[in-house]
Structure 1
Amino acid sequence: MDLGLKGLRVLVTGGTKGIGRKCADIFADEGAAVSVCARDAAHVTATVEALKQKGVPAFGRAVNVANAHSLKSWVQDSAAALGGIDIVVANVSALAVADDETAWQAGFETDMMHSVRLVNASMPWLEKSQAASITLISSVSGREIDFTGPAYGAFKAALVHYAQGLAMKLAPIGIRANTVSPGNTFFEGGIWQSIEQNNPDLFRDALAMNPMKRMAGPDEIARGVVFLASPASSFTSGTNLVIDGALTKGVQL
């Protein structure tokens, strides 16, 4: 299937590892120009070079997405480097799972406000695009109460609500907005690798909860993100795509 991504311009936050990196790779494989940001400058440089090797324009910068000025500057410079913006994917999370005020502050600034600011900063270019879409990465923790902290789940749920509102508001001007809610996703350098090494009991319990008896690979989540963001999904807006291997039990009506 041709996803219609060739020549489009895509921004991915947290695009140097895990789900974000796989998204960037697949977008580039489909012929899209890609800009990424992440905290680690060396990882950003390596990712940009790898994307360019795929034969597409690529740009990147080390950014703390909780810093409003830095995030907006990256968006503006990405648009200049790529010649516009068609698709944005907000992928960064503070992973603040503690039950304290610091977790609420971190989740608000990173999970929630980075998504809001990414959308707002990108809007002048999205409004000019013929294939504009916004995809926010939520979590199954936004659907059900689980072992993560209250702040993490609350902000992941808020992202779904925010995207639904964007979808309703922006549909008349041709901009789509959706969320993807991954289940537990294992990758090198990710949170679940750390839990496997440092809290094996929690890792074992989490693994046992999934009917498939395994966690997702980041590519399995990224393929859903890329399809939802692409013109191949042009009439899908306001949806929350759950990719969790049947982990969650709630029924989406």
Structure 2
Amino acid sequence: MDLGLKGRKAILIGANASVGRHTAEILAQEGCNVALCGRTEEKVDAVVARVNALGVNAFGKAVDASDAKALPAFIDEAAAALGGCDIFISFVSTNLGVDSDEGWMAVMNADILPLSRGVRAALPHLQKSDAGSIVTLSSTGAVEEFMGPQPYNALKAAVINYSKSLAQKHAAEGIRVNCMIPGPIYTEDGPWAGIKAAAPEFYDSILGQIPMGRMCSGEEIGKAIAFVASPACRFMTGASLVIDGALTKRVQF
């Protein structure tokens, strides 16, 4: 199936590693031009090189996504470098795992605010596209209890609400907004690899809760994101898609 991504332009925030990196490469494999940023210049340069090697245009820059001025400036610069923007996705995230002021502010500053600032900066460019698409990233921790009171879980629930409201507001402009709700994702450069090494018993306890017996791979979630973001999925907007290997127990209607 042709996803209709050839020649399209995607701006990805926090895509220098893990899920963002996989998504950048998969979009590039489909012929999509990609601009990306991340905190580490070396990692950004490595992903840009891999994307360029796939025969598409790539633009990258080291950016602190929590910087209220630097992030919108990067999005404008990226849109100029690519010649527009059809797809916007923010992958930046953090989780201190504590129910404290510090924990709440960490998620707000490194996850929620970069998303909302990024969306606002990307919208003028998406409005010029004939296939504008925003994909947001939530978590199964937002839809079911997971490890007690967690700022991360609560604020990822806010992402679902925010995404639905954006979809309603911008549907008439042809801009789609959909929210991915993944369960645990294992990549060699992602957080679960570190958890597996540092806390193997905890890692195994989470793995044991997933009926499929494994975590999602970076390639699998990247392919799902690419499909939802693509013109092949043109009538889907306002949706929240759970991708979790049957981890969650709730019945969805």
Is this contact kept in 2: 1:98–1:148, CA < 8 A? Answer: no
Deviation of residue 148 (structure 1)?
6.3
Equivalent residue for 1:102?
102
Paired AA for residue 106 in structure 1: A
What is the distance in 1 between the residues matched to 2:126 and 2:88? Answer: 9
Paired AA for residue 14 in structure 1: G
What is the distance in 1 between the residues matched to 2:136 and 2:37? Answer: 15
Equivalent residue for 1:45?
45
What is the distance in 2 between the residues matched to 1:78 and 1:85? Answer: 8
Relative distance call for 1:28 and 1:149 in structure 2 (3 A) is: farther
Equivalent residue for 1:88?
88
Which range moved further: 92-101 or 178-187? Answer: 92-101
Deviation of residue 189 (structure 1)?
2.5
Taking structure 2 as the reference length, the TM-score comes to: 0.97
Matches within 5 A, 1:195-234: 195-234=195-234
What is the distance in 2 between the residues matched to 1:148 and 1:189? Answer: 26
Paired AA for residue 12 in structure 1: L
What is the identity percentage for the equivalent residue pairs of Structure 1 and Structure 2? 41
Q: Which runs of 5+ in 1 are unaligned?
A: none
What is the distance in 1 between the residues matched to 2:189 and 2:19? Answer: 12
Moved over 4 A (4+): none
What is the distance in 2 between the residues matched to 1:179 and 1:110? Answer: 18
Which range moved further: 158-167 or 143-152? Answer: 143-152
Taking structure 1 as the reference length, the TM-score comes to: 0.97
Paired AA for residue 90 in structure 2: A
Deviation string 1:61-119 (CA, Å, 9 cap, x unpaired) is: 11111111111111011011000111001111012322211110011122111111111
What count of residue pairs does the alignment treat as equivalent? 253
Deviation of residue 252 (structure 1)?
2.2
Deviation of residue 193 (structure 1)?
1.1
Residues 1:112 and 2:112 are matched in the alignment: yes
Deviation of residue 149 (structure 1)?
5.0
Q: SS where residue 216 of structure 2 aligns?
A: coil
Q: SS where residue 24 of structure 2 aligns?
A: helix
What is the distance in 2 between the residues matched to 1:55 and 1:69? Answer: 32
What is the distance in 1 between the residues matched to 2:166 and 2:192? Answer: 31
Which range moved further: 114-123 or 90-99? Answer: 90-99
What is the distance in 2 between the residues matched to 1:148 and 1:220? Answer: 28
Paired AA for residue 187 in structure 1: T
Is this contact kept in 2: 1:181–1:240, CA < 8 A? Answer: yes
Q: SS where residue 209 of structure 1 aligns?
A: coil
- Name the Cα RMSD after superposition: 1.0
Matches within 5 A, 1:25-44: 25-44=25-44
Q: Which runs of 5+ in 2 are unaligned?
A: none
